[in-house]
Amino acid sequence: MGAGVRVSVGPVAPNSAAAWIGWARQVIGELRGDPAAAVKLSPQVLDDVAAYVESWAGVNCDSEVFEWQVDVDPDELEYLTNALYNLDRRLADRAGRGPQRSAPAEARAFHLMLVQALLFALAQESPSRAAFVEQLRPCWPVAVEAG
């Protein structure tokens, strides 16, 4: 295994991080509880995303800013990025077919910061992963909204 890739999320308002974390916990819980849900992700993907959500929840949200850094194996980073992309994409696709599980408005800043941090870190890892990021970015709903 090679050296880890540094992922840095923040600074962002702690209320935005708390709002997104709470929303993500709710959505993951609902998906786990409803195997027939329109949004289908494997239990392993949900577990892996939930583990990161809990690590973000462990950051002190009582401070003036939310900041989180970790060194991640490049393959794990690619997996996490893809898992979050699939969750976002499926929720966005589903929005037109029934009740929407949109993140609260105050969560948007954290969501955007998270996506940008993951894409930036992955693109720095290697030319092939940078090419992957450039193909993924225009398809990721929150990245497209950000322009």
- For the segment 7-58, what is each residue's pLDDT rounded down to a tens digit? 999 999 999 999 999 999 998 888 888 766 645 778 888 899 999 999 998 8
Q: Which residue has the tokens 């037109």?
A: 96
Residues 62-96 pLDDT 10s: 778 999 999 999 999 999 999 999 888 877 766 65
1: pLDDT strictly greater than 50:
no
Of the candidate ranges 58-62, 64-68, 123-127, the one whose mean pLDDT is the lowest: 58-62
* Domain ranges within the chain, ordered by starting residue: 5-146
